[in-house]
Chains A and B, each alone.
Chain A
Amino acid sequence: MTFFLLRRSVHGIIVLWAVATFTFVLLRLAPGGPFDRERQLPAEVRANIEAKYHLDEPLPRQYFRYLTGILRGDLGPSYKYIDRGVNDVVAETLPTSALLGVLALAFAVLIAFPTGILAAYHRASAIDRCAMFFSTLGISVPHFILGALLIWAVALQLGWLQAGRWDHWSSVILPSITLGAAPAAYLAALLRSSLIDTLGEDFISAARAKGLKETVVVLKHALAHSLIPVLTVMGPLTAALLTGSFVVEYVFAIPGMGRFFITAVTDRDYPLVMGVTLVYTALLFLANVVVDMLYGLIDPRVRTE
């Protein structure tokens, strides 16, 4: 296990360096600059601002400054949110996005597992068709449509829950459902498909022949075997949910990281884009490491490898 973690850590560092370098180069190649706007800045002001952010230095020196900053844990200043550094923006917004992501993930898992298992077990029945209809619907309907519909129906018409912001327990439910709906639908469809395959395997027939209860056959033997593709998807899915969704955060006026990421791109806020990308990469990498470890727990063959 130690060797595995060490090896993955080295991989992680290489991946982070590659992403940092790629993002740095890509942003510099993109047309426009961070201080371009509808009217040109006076030359003196532009020169002062560029000197303040070291943008007047040669690119290799900027790159070196950026990398040494990352090593010190300093993601640099934000060009747009001038009184805050990227570390501040991430520290302020990541917890909100992460909580939204955790709640959305919990919703997705709670909906996907029962739906996928029932649909697979009752294959080609009305339950299966109904589950797959809602699964297709969940995957197809965009966040902004579902969010707007939920706000209209649940918050405005029924008045049961708060429509926006992130300051009360009743304000977190609708965005969590909106963000978790598509993953729930996708995971349900994936689990159904995987479970159907597993239920046709010989070892399942053998288990049934031994006289085991159907619940034990499905939930213990078949389900564990069917989880590998689901877990594979859940790694990047978890990272994506944790780092936020711009659309959902925008629709529900949630002060999360997704909103900052998108506006940072349009504002050419280089340090913020690079910082958020690195955080996203790190989370994605961590989620994949956790998934790899979970493979080992679920499947002894992987543990042996």
Chain B
Amino acid sequence: MSQVKFVDTTLRDGQASLWAENMRTGMMLAVADRIDNAGFQAIELIASSHIKKCVRELREDPFERMRQVAKKITKTPLRAIGAERISAFELAPDSVVDLWFERMIANGMRQLRISDPANDPAGWKKSVARAKRVGLTTILNQIYSVSPKHTDGYYARKAREAAALKPDYICLKDPGGLLTPERTSALIRVIQTEAPGVPIELHVHCTTGLGPLCAIEAIKLGVELIDVSVPPLANASSNPSVFNVAQNSRALGYTPVIDEQNLKSVARDLTYFAKRASLPIGEPVEYDYSQYVHQVPGGMISNLRFQLKNLGLLDRLPEVLEEAILVREDLGYPIMVTPFSQFVGSQAAINVIKGERYIQVTDQVIQYAAGLWGEEAASEVDGNVKDRILDRPRAKEFAGWQPPQPSLEEVRSKLGGPGLGDDELLMRYVAGNEDVDAMRAAGAPKAYHDAGNPLLTLVRELSQRKDCRQIHIQKDDFSLALEKRQ
């Protein structure tokens, strides 16, 4: 009977979609070895967006995260997600991007799932070449979207362009959870026809509730790898639950290559961490047609929610999502994936907050309209909107501008001098010196213990406190006294 194989996304897209990348390194380390032993074909760990998030908000070293997790996950290949842009919203020089690819390998990554936000073969080509050069296995994303331009013919052409680059896998990626079983079936057949011999991976989200159904459809068509997450970081705007997909595939007569028993304790511990840190628990959602209208991906929604909440404007989220529909149409239907989804989402939020459309425009949207993020994309921006965006002094500054290409030596010298380490250079380039210094000052990341022995965990943590010598715990008939004797 045919086997069904899985890629784990819990530590990467699962927590990005549901926890806005707020998962701590300590939480990952607490469950890493059990995920490693579960039989996944790969474990996704890091994206370039994590660098800024880790340094600026979590005050954790993302490279130390990679190294620590790589020490725990030794059987399953670790995977990174990304492409040319180490900083998703900035155009980085080649020297820095080269270094990022080298440091992925040096810090334990073995695979790279490559995305270009516009499915642009020029962007793919560079990333595939860079990845193969340093020895990373390449998985090339075909990003799914719904718009007048994203037809079967479009995806057939993209599959041919992707296959020409000889990636190890082609991944049909649906960041917005927009795929239906019918479209999954049609597009997988298109890829199988146009890219014969290239194994296929499916990456769907459950934002509309259809993710698990799409996974089943892909399994029936012989797709080699299915991306899944461990609850509570599965479902909702995240990927399908590994338990659900494994169970359904078994019911259909397939053999899922996964140790579900091993993952049950992972689910229990992650739920425990979520409750302690007041982080959301992913639940299956009802079918939501509005997702097809605004197409804002799960990670973006959780980020928008997080940012609007900080501004005290959480009640205006539906209004921002409505505006996102119009901004996307104005910009010529970019695929709603990082960084374009953020371009659209941020501009929509600005339009709503300012009360007038495009009175203030982000630099990225100006660059997008000016063609710096791809000529094809810029050519599809609505003419009137384009004039409005480009008719401002800031836009004139970008005319004829090309991203500078400093050497690594120049970048290193600017950020701290010859003694600056490679990982430190990348962090300082992406997050800035001030935040890296603040991260260093914050000390080592907090350790998390599994939820298997709560009493043992309590005693262990209490014993590490230095501000008390005696601890007495009393609950009903239970009494515990601890005393430091030295």
Contact = CB atoms under 8 A, between A and B. Distances in A.
Interface string B117-134: 000000001101110111
A178 B98 CA distance: 36
Given A37-B408, A38-B408, A83-B125, A49 B106 contact: no
Interface in B101-160: 102, 105-106, 125-126, 128-130, 132-135
Given A37-B408, A38-B408, A39-B422, A44 B105 contact: yes
Contacts of B412: 38-39
Interface residues of B, number: 18
Contacts of A47: 135
B193 to A, nearest CB: 27
A45 B129 contact: no
Interface string A189-203: 000000000000000
B286 interface: no
A82 interface: yes
Interface string A39-74: 101101101110110000000000000000000000
A83 B98 CA distance: 12
Given A82-B126, A83-B125, A83-B126, A42 B106 contact: yes
Nearest to A37: B408
Nearest to B410: A38
Nearest to A49: B133
B408 A42 contact: no
B106 A38 contact: no
Contact of A48 (B126, B129, B135): B135
Given A45-B102, A48-B134, A38 B129 contact: no
Interface of A: 37-39, 41-42, 44-45, 47-49, 51-52, 82-83
A48 B409 contact: no
Contacts of A52: 132-133, 135
B101 to A, nearest CB: 9
A45 B408 contact: no
A48 B104 CA distance: 13
User: What 5 pairs between A and B have smallest CB-CB spacing?
Assistant: A48-B135, A42-B106, A83-B126, A83-B129, A82-B129
Contacts of A49: 133-135
A77 to B, nearest CB: 8
A51 B102 CA distance: 15
Nearest to A167: B400
Nearest to B105: A45
Nearest to B107: A42
24 contacts: A37-B408, A38-B418, A39-B412, A39-B422, A42-B102, A42-B105, A42-B106, A44-B105, A44-B135, A45-B102, A45-B106, A47-B135, A48-B134, A48-B135, A51-B135, A52-B132, A52-B133, A82-B98, A82-B129, A82-B130, A82-B133, A83-B125, A83-B126, A83-B130
A165 to B, nearest CB: 9
B77 to A, nearest CB: 14
B135 A38 contact: no
Contacts of B409: 37-38
Interface in B68-108: 98, 102, 105-106
Contact of A44 (B106, B128, B132, B133): B106
Interface string B37-59: 00000000000000000000000
B409 to A, nearest CB: 5
Interface string B162-196: 00000000000000000000000000000000000
Nearest to A38: B409
Contacts of A41: 102
A81 B133 CA distance: 11
Given A38-B412, A82-B129, A45 B134 contact: yes
Nearest to B130: A82
Given A39-B412, A44-B105, A51-B135, 17 more contacts: A37-B409, A38-B408, A39-B408, A42-B106, A45-B102, A45-B105, A45-B106, A45-B134, A45-B135, A48-B134, A52-B132, A52-B133, A82-B98, A82-B126, A82-B129, A83-B125, A83-B130
Nearest to B421: A39
A44 B130 CA distance: 15
Q: Which of B130, B135, B418 has the most CB of A within 10 A?
A: B135
Contacts of B106: 42, 44-45
Nearest to A52: B133
Contacts of A38: 408-409, 412, 418
Nearest to B98: A82
B186 to A, nearest CB: 31
Contacts of B408: 37-39
Nearest to B123: A83
Q: Which of A42, A48, A52, A83 has the most CB of B within 10 A?
A: A83
Nearest to A80: B94
A254 to B, nearest CB: 15
Contacts of A83: 125-126, 128-130
A264 B98 CA distance: 17
Given A37-B408, A42-B102, A48 B422 contact: no
Interface string B450-467: 000000000000000000
A286 to B, nearest CB: 32
B425 to A, nearest CB: 9
Contacts of B422: 39
Contacts of A39: 408, 412, 422
Nearest to B412: A38
B181 to A, nearest CB: 36
A48 B110 CA distance: 12
Q: Which of B106, B128, B129, B412 has the most CB of A within 10 A?
A: B129
B134 to A, nearest CB: 5
A174 B98 CA distance: 36
Nearest to B420: A39
Interface in B253-291: none
Q: Which of B106, B133, B135 has the most CB of A within 10 A?
A: B133
A49 B98 CA distance: 12
